[in-house]
Amino acid sequence: TSRDNPCSAFQFSNGGHIFAYCDSERTRAFEVAGGKELLNVDLKKTRRIVFTPRDSHMITYEPYVTYGQKVCFSVVHDRIEETWMPQFSDDESAAVRLVGSELLVHEGCHFGKYDRKIVVQNIKNFAVSPGPAPLHVACYSPSSGSTPGRVQVRCLDPPFSAVAAKNFFKTEKAVMQWNSRGTAVLVLASTDVDSSNQSYYGEQHVYLLNVNSGDSFKVLLSKAGPVHAAKWNPNGREFCVCYGFMPAMVGIYNLRGDETFHTDEGPRNDIFYNAFGSILLTCGFGNLGKGKMEFWDVEKKKLIVAASFVNVFIAT
């Protein structure tokens, strides 16, 4: 794009065969291999582009105005569909969107009408499970007064049975992450203010809900302080948490919540797995200033190499 029309958003599809961008005038999508134009639409305020799991649809976002709406494009059939931001199952057999206290379930990518709905009181956000059927959805309702916050996992098919649930107090928001197998949900619940006044970052707690067993519990961390990051290993069998007042610790946990490994204390505030889950990167970036990076062999639980880069900020 030119300086007169700066790029405001761009995104490759999940399979890497489609590239989409907005040049502040129009939003376009092209085939990467042959350069064939798939979409060219009059959307000049696009700020984010998202592809559905199988790349059949592309969703654009723009700043909210009273006349605005999110638009979903079929990059296969060049069809435009009006919708709010949905979440899709991996095979795109179901799409779910939140309207008030109702989760509307659409079969396939057809948003003309919903096929069924799940009513969840005071729901704030949700997460659809990956993997094959049966599909589940994790729903979060924040605490209010004497009513505790709650995460519940329900089936996406009637009668929408609850298979796991966890209540907790002192929570204003929750980030829910499914493992790759769709059998467990990792919940990072937090408040903006620490009631003990010990942390500028508020309070955070990690919970685990197991779909197969129905178990739900708080993950016990061996050091007090904020939770900087919590992420699943792509293998779906374990997860990693970076936690504690600086210098922070990093621990690896199994599906029972048992800590199987932890690092020594150090200046860390983020963690990343490679795509195979065989290497773990622990980082200390941003306001820590040291920019320390450590690469760990997950199976052998040994440090591979460490490096430092001053004043590094990482973008994901």
2: number of Cβ within 10 Å: 9
Last residue of one domain, picked from the residues 85, 117, 151: 85
| 259-262 and 249-254 beta bridge pairing | antiparallel
CATH of the domain at 95: 2.130.10.10
Q: What is the mean pLDDT of each run of 10 residues along the chain (316 residues)?
A: 80 95 92 92 90 89 66 53 70 90 88 89 93 92 87 93 90 92 94 67 89 93 92 96 92 94 90 95 78 90 87 54
Asked if 277 contacts 259 with a C-beta cutoff of 8 angstroms, the reply is no
Examine the domain organization and report whether 129 and 95 are in the same domain. Answer: yes
Examine the domain organization and report whether 120 and 187 are in the same domain. Answer: yes
For residue 249, the model assigns a pLDDT of 94
Residue count (the chain)? 316
3-state SS class at 287: helix
Q: Name residue, tokens 């079969």.
A: 107
Q: Name residue, tokens 């709406």.
A: 69
Give how many domains the chain has, as a whole number.
3
For residue 272, the model assigns a pLDDT of 96
Last residue of one domain, picked from the residues 33, 50, 85: 85
For residue 80, the model assigns a pLDDT of 46
Q: Is the pTM of this model over 0.85?
A: no
Last residue of one domain, picked from the residues 85, 112, 135: 85
